[in-house]
Chains A and B, each alone.
Chain A
Amino acid sequence: MTATAPAARKRSFRPRTLVITAVAWLLAALFLAPYLEMVLTALRPADELRDRSYFPDKLEWSNLVDVWKESSLGDNLQVTLLVAGGATVLVLLVSLPAAYYTARVRYRGRKWFLLLVLVTQMFQPTALVVGLYRQFYQLDMLNSVWTLILCNAAFNLAFAVWILSAYISSIPVELEEAAMVDGTSRFGAMIRVTLPLALPGVVTAVIFTFITSWNEFIMGLTLSTEPDKQPLTVGINNFIGNYTVQWNYLFAASVVAILPVIVLFAFIERHVVSGLTAGSVK
C-alpha cells in the first residue's frame, strides 16, 4: 500500500495478494481453533459431552455461571485475582524507581545491576521451584497469598525494569531539568513529568506482569498445597484428576481464565518482544 507504488505494479501483485490473504487468514483461524473448541465445550450441555458432533445442538450458557457454584473454583479465582493484582502492584512499586534511576544516571555498578536483572529474566521458576518450596516451608509460609505475590513479582521484575528503563531513556532529560529548575525535586519530576510520558511502557509492564502471574502454574502448584489456597490454573488442573471430569465446567472456568488475558495482551503485543529479548530485538 505504499502510496508511491505505480498502479501497474500494484495490479500485477493481485493474485499473489489473494493467495497470501487466504493462507494467512486460514492460519490465523487455526491458531484460534483450539480456543474456539474450548468455548464450544464450555457451552455444551452435560448430556452432549460424549457426542461426536462438531457443534452442540443446544448452547448451555448457564455453565459459565454454574461452574462457580458447583465447584470450588471460585476460591481459586479469588486467589488468582489477589496474586496477579498484588504482584503487579509490587512489581510497579519496586521496578519504577530502579528503571528511572538506571535510565537517567550512569552510576557505579549500573552494568552489574543490568546483568543481574537480565539473568533473572532468563531463570524461570521451574528449575528453582524445589528450592523455593524448601525456603518457604522453613519460613512456614506455604499456602499463603503473600508468598505467591512475592514469587510472581520477583520473576517479573526483570521484564518491567527493562521495558520501563528503555521507555524512560527515550524521554528527553531536559523536560525534567526544566521542572527541577522550577524547584521540583527529582522524585517530583519523575512522578509529574516522566511518568505520564512513559505511560505506554508502564501499561506494558503492568499488563505483562498481570498476565504472567495470572497464567503461572508451577509455583502455585508447589507453594500451595491446600486446594482452596491454590490459583485457578492449579484448581482447573486438579479438576481433571479428582472425579469423572466435567469437561464443560472445566472449560467454562478456562474460558473465564483465558479470554480476558488474550484481550489484554492485544494492547501490549507490539512492545512485548523488545522487553522479552532484553532490547536485543526491537
Chain B
Amino acid sequence: MSVKAPSSPAESRGRGGSGGRRVRHRPRGGLARLGPLPWIAPVILLILAVVVYPIVELVRTSFLNISIAGKVRGSAGTDKFKKLFEETDFGHVLLWTVLWTVVVVCVTMVLSLGLAQLFNQRFPGRRVARWALIAPWAASVLMTAIGFKWMLNQTAGVLNTLLIDLGLIDKSKDWLGEPGTAWPWMMFVAVFVSLPFTTYTLLAGLQTISQDVYEAARIDGAGPWQTYWGITLPLLRPAFLVGVVINLINVFNSFPIIWAMTQGGPGSDTATSTVFMYKLKETDIAESAAMSVVNFAMVVVLVLIFLKVSRWNEEDA
C-alpha cells in the first residue's frame, strides 16, 4: 500500500496509486479531489434508475390492489401471491418453464459442442461459414420466431411443403395449434437462436487450449476419442459452464419466441412463467407483478450461480 516508503512526495498523495500501478498525481482543480465519482456516477445513476428501482417498484406492486385503469386501491397484503399460487394453470406453467429451460439448454450445449469442434477445424471457406452461423444471433429473436411461424403455416408454410414432399407427413398440419407439437417447434427455435452464441463461446474456449497438449497426447498414442474425453472436454469446462449459465438465463427469459408463435395459447398451455406473467398483466397487474417477483427470484439464483462459475473476481483487481 502507499504507506510503505513512498519514493516521492507526489506519489504518496496519489489516489489509487496503491495496486502497484503508478498513477502520477496532478492536483488539477476540483474534479480530481472528487475521486472516482465524476467518472462512474453516471453509470451508477442510470443503473439505479432503470435496473434497481424497477425491482423495488415490482415488489411494491405485488403487494397492492391496482385497478385495470392503473389506480392504486390500497394494500393487498399477500393476497396477490395467494391468488397466483391458486391459479389452475400455475403448476402447469412452472413445470413447463423448467422443462423448456432444461431441454433447450441441454440440447443447445450438446449440439454446440459438435458445432464448435467442427468449426474449429481448418477447411476452405471457414470464415464465411462461421459468418453464416451468426445470423440467428444477430437477427432479432422475435423476427426469427415470426419467420418460423410463417414457415409452419398450415396453408402455405414451406416446412409443411417440405415435410410432405419428403413423405414424412401426408397432409399439412397446424403445428402451432396444439401444445403437443407447438412445444417441440418452439424449443427448436429456441435452440436455433441459442446455438451461435454458445458455439462461439466454446470456440473461444477451444482456442485457449494449447496445441502442445494435443501434441503430447499424440505422442502418448491417444486416439481421437480418448483425446476429446481426456483433454478437450476437461479443458473446455470453464467456457462450457459459462455457456450453460448464460443460456439458462437467456432461455428462461426468452419471451419473444413463445409470444410470437403461440402467445402461450391455447389458454396457457404453451406458456412459460414469463409469458404467463404477461398474460396476467392484461387482467391484474399486481398479480402479474407477483409472478414477476417469482421470476426475478429465479433469475437471482441463476445470477448467483453465474458469479460462482465466471471467476469474475479472479482478475487482477
User: What separation, in Å, do the CA atoms of A24 and B127 have in the docked complex?
Assistant: 11
Q: What are the residues of chain B within 8 A of A282 when measuring CB–CB?
A: 204, 208
Number of interface residues of B (CB under 8 A): 113
Which chain B residues border A261 with CB–CB below 8 Å? 138-140
| Contact (A128, B51) CB under 8 Å given A101-B36, A281-B239 | yes
Whether the pair B204, A273 counts as a contact (CB closer than 8 A) is: yes
Contacts of B168 in A (CB 8 A): none
**How far, in whole Å, are A101 and B16 apart by their CA atoms in the complex?**
10
Bitwise interface map of A from 10 to 39 toward B, beta carbon under 8 Å scored 1, else 0: 000000010011011101110110110110
B143 CB within 8 Å of chain A = yes
What's the Cα separation between A277 and B249 when bound, in Å?
A: 12
How far apart sit A127 and B83, CA to CA, in the bound complex (Å)? Answer: 19
Instruction: Give chain B interface residues in 144-176, CB to chain A under 8 Å.
Output: 144, 146-151, 153, 155-156, 158, 161
Asked whether A127 lies within 8 Å of B292 as measured between CB atoms, the reply is yes
Given known contacts A122-B299, A233-B140, A237-B260, is B118 in contact with A20 (CB within 8 Å)? yes
Whether A265 contacts B134 by the Cβ 8 Å rule is yes
A157 touches B43 (CB 8 A): yes
CA distance A109 to B18 in the complex (A): 13
B contact residues around A278 at 8 Å (CB): 310, 312
Look across to chain A and name the residue whose beta carbon is closest to the beta carbon of B236. A281
* Chain B residues within 8 Å of A269, by CB: 130-131, 134, 200
In the complex the two chains form, is B147's CB within 8 Å of A27's CB?
A: no
Residue A135 at the chain B interface, CB threshold 8 Å: yes
Chain A residues, Cβ within 8 Å of B125: 21, 25
**What number of residue pairs across chains A and B have CB atoms under 8 A from each other?**
312
B124 interface residue (CB < 8 Å to A): yes
If A23-B118, A240-B146 touch, does A98 touch B57 (CB 8 Å cutoff)?
no
User: Out of A23, A104, A217, A262, which one reaches B138, CB within 8 Å?
Assistant: A262
Which of chain A's residues has its CB closest to B23's CB?
A: A105
A 96-111 binary contact with B (CB < 8 Å = 1; else 0): 0110111011111111
B-side contacts of A154, CB under 8 Å: 46-47, 49-51
Tell me whether B265 is interfacial, beta carbon within 8 Å: no
- Give the chain B neighbours of A29 by CB distance below 8 A: 132
Q: Which residues of B contact A110 (CB under 8 A)?
A: 36, 317
Complex formed: what's the CA distance from A133 to B58 in Å? 9
Q: Which of A24, A127, A218, A272 contacts B295 (CB 8 A)?
A: A127
Is B53 close to A, CB under 8 A?
Answer: yes
Is B225 located at the chain interface by the 8 A CB criterion? no
Q: Does A214 contact B (CB under 8 A)?
A: yes
Interface members, chain B 175-195 (any A CB < 8 Å): 192, 195
B142 near A215 (CB under 8 angstroms)? yes
* Chain B residues with CB under 8 A of A27: 115, 118, 129, 133
Q: Which of A58-66, A68-76, A198-206, A250-258 contacts B (4 or more CB under 8 A)?
A: A250-258
Is A114 in contact with B317, judged by CB distance below 8 angstroms?
yes
Give chain B residues whose Cβ lies under 8 Å from the Cβ of A122.
249, 299, 302-303, 306
Nearest opposing residue in chain B for A129, CB measure: B292
Is B82 among interface residues, defined by CB-CB distance under 8 A? no
Q: Is the CB of B242 within 8 A of A28?
A: no
Contact of A43 with B by CB under 8 A: no
Q: Is B201 an interface residue (CB 8 A)?
A: yes
Report whether A254 and B42 are in contact in the complex, using a CB–CB cutoff of 8 Å: no
List 21 interface pairs A-B (beta carbons < 8 Å), by A numbering. Answer: A24-B118, A24-B119, A29-B132, A34-B148, A50-B156, A106-B21, A114-B313, A117-B43, A118-B307, A123-B299, A132-B57, A134-B58, A134-B61, A173-B23, A180-B26, A233-B140, A258-B139, A265-B134, A266-B134, A277-B239, A281-B238
Q: Which residues of A contact B (CB under 8 A)?
A: 1, 17, 20-21, 23-25, 27-29, 31-32, 34-35, 37-38, 41, 49-52, 54, 93-95, 97-98, 100-102, 104-111, 113-120, 122-124, 126-135, 137, 150-151, 153-155, 157, 161, 173, 177, 180, 185-186, 211, 214-215, 217-218, 222, 233, 236-237, 240, 247, 250-251, 254, 257-258, 261-262, 264-266, 269, 272-274, 276-282
In the A-B complex, the 4 residue pairs with the closest CB atoms: A131-B58, A131-B54, A265-B138, A154-B50
